[in-house]
Amino acid sequence: MGIYEELGVERVINAAATLTALGGSRMPSVVLDAMREAAGEFVDMHQLQQKVGARLACLTRNEAAYVASGCAAGMVLGILGCRTGGELEKIARLGSGKGLPNEVIIQAAHRNPYDWVIALAGARMRTVGNTRQTFDWELESAIGDNTAAVLHIAGIRYAPGALGLPEVVRVAHARGIPVIVDAAAQLPPCSNLWHYTKDVGADLAVFSGGKELKGPQASGLMVGTTAMIEAARANGAPHQRFARSMKAGKEEIVGLLAAVERYLALDQVAERARCEAWCSRWAQLFSPVPGVRTQIDPHNEGGADLPRLAVEVDEATLGRDAFTVAEELWSGQPRIAVLATDSRTLYLEPDLVEDDECGLVGDRVLACLRGGLVHEGK
């Protein structure tokens, strides 16, 4: 009996996405082995962060890197770095905030459930533009003496109505303001690990360690300029400072390094081909069902370059909507998680589903789709 069975926690087959609510992703053995080895010894945590950061910077073609306890924690550290510049006298003033810049600019089209990280860093949000469009002059006019940073949310899901990152960098840097990129789920392609920073010029990009990198769920990869990384580092553990509670342990630090090394060695073409193959097989299985239409979406839930299958359902024909199908899958044994975005559409992502589970997912989804048919031909 496994630990989850002992605890009475139900196992889930994750065909939805690398969601935190489902535990992120599965860690491969090379990551688990690295974490297990790291757990067995004491080290100087400052030295470990510096050595691992240097290795990660080299791997990702950046000036510097740092391991945070998650993407959200990395965003907080980045904003604190922008507010204080890593200077001890300014860090000491974070409690009152007196004399420190405390505004972070974000575009209206980039507002999301995670932008609370701005407040967590003791700053306030200044929104520019609207959900349909943002002009460069709006961003420029919002920059003032109290501006600490501009926060840019990467990915095609947030692109409509927003200024592109090159324009954001141009406007912000002209006024001496750093740009932070939330790139939590923007892998693949692996080139994004250096694209936002080295190619486009953002000061910092932060990736989730527990999503496509398949590293520890409680880890985040910060990459960018040396000045930005050092300013962020000064605010976090093992220092006894503002963001000490967001500490990454030696296990997460070493585990994330192993995950990045593994990820960069993967055959990304083969990974995508596998996902495309399962999407096609599922589509062939579901499409004959009356009231069902399928289409392969070239991008996953986070907007990254991995395909998923969209399954559109006609409630009048099927006798149930997408939410009901998703709930039936979740209520079965074992639980299967899919993503229903509205009453007509649910998505299946094969990336996190093992090959021996993909057949089960297909059979269960087919049974749920057919189970409520109200027309002949059932």
Opening angle at CA 84, ends 81 and 85, nearest 5: 65
Secondary element (H or E) of residue 308 = strand 308-313
Residue 354 to residue 364: CA distance in whole angstroms: 15
Q: Assess whether 232 and 121 both reside in one domain.
A: yes
Domain end point (choices 265, 291, 314): 265
pLDDT band, very low/low/confident/very high, at 95 (cuts 50, 70, 90): confident
Number of separate domains in the chain: 2
pLDDT score of 376 more than 80: no
Q: What is the pLDDT of residue 378?
A: 39
Contact indicator for 150, 105 with CB cutoff of 8 Å: yes
Q: What would the pLDDT profile of 295-340 be if each residue is shown by its tens digit?
A: 999 999 999 999 999 999 999 999 999 999 999 999 999 999 999 9
Can you give the length of the chain in residues? 378
Contact indicator for 46, 238 with CB cutoff of 8 Å: yes
What's the mean pLDDT when you consider all of the chain?
A: 95
Contact indicator for 139, 168 with CB cutoff of 8 Å: yes
Q: How many CB atoms are closer than 10 A to CB 298?
A: 12
Q: Assess whether 15 and 113 both reside in one domain.
A: no
Q: How many Cα atoms within 13 Å fall on the side-chain side of residue 252?
A: 20
pLDDT score of 374 more than 70: no
* CATH (domain of 348): 3.90.1150.180
Q: What is the mean pLDDT of residues 112-128?
A: 95
pLDDT band, very low/low/confident/very high, at 1 (cuts 50, 70, 90): confident
DSSP string computed for 84-100? HTT-HHHHTTTTT-TTS
Q: Which two tokens stand for residue 120?
A: 């967590």
Residue 297 to residue 277: CA distance in whole angstroms: 13
Query: Which one, of 191, 199, 237, 242, lies nearest residue 218 by Cα?
Result: 237
Bridge partners (DSSP) listed for residue 66: 222
- Rounded to two decimals, the pTM is 0.95
Q: Assess whether 346 and 356 both reside in one domain.
A: yes
Q: Assess whether 50 and 142 both reside in one domain.
A: yes
Specify the range with the lowest mean pLDDT, choosing from 48-57, 144-153, 238-247.
238-247
Q: Assess whether 300 and 167 both reside in one domain.
A: no
Q: What is the mean pLDDT of residues 113-117?
A: 92
Query: Which one, of 52, 44, 373, 103, lies nearest residue 238 by Cα?
Result: 44
Peptide bond before 178: cis, by omega within 30 degrees of 0? no
Residue 278 to residue 222: CA distance in whole angstroms: 33
pLDDT band, very low/low/confident/very high, at 220 (cuts 50, 70, 90): very high
Q: Which two tokens stand for residue 281?
A: 């097989």
Contact indicator for 320, 372 with CB cutoff of 8 Å: yes
pLDDT score of 190 more than 50: yes
Q: Assess whether 275 and 221 both reside in one domain.
A: no
Residue 103 to residue 125: CA distance in whole angstroms: 6
Q: What is the mean pLDDT of residues 84-101?
A: 93
Sequence-distant (6+) residues with CB within 8 A of 94 are 80, 83, 84, 100, 122, 235, 242
pLDDT score of 377 more than 50: no
Q: Range of 104's domain?
A: 42-265
Q: Assess whether 140 and 181 both reside in one domain.
A: yes
Q: Assess whether 207 and 302 both reside in one domain.
A: no
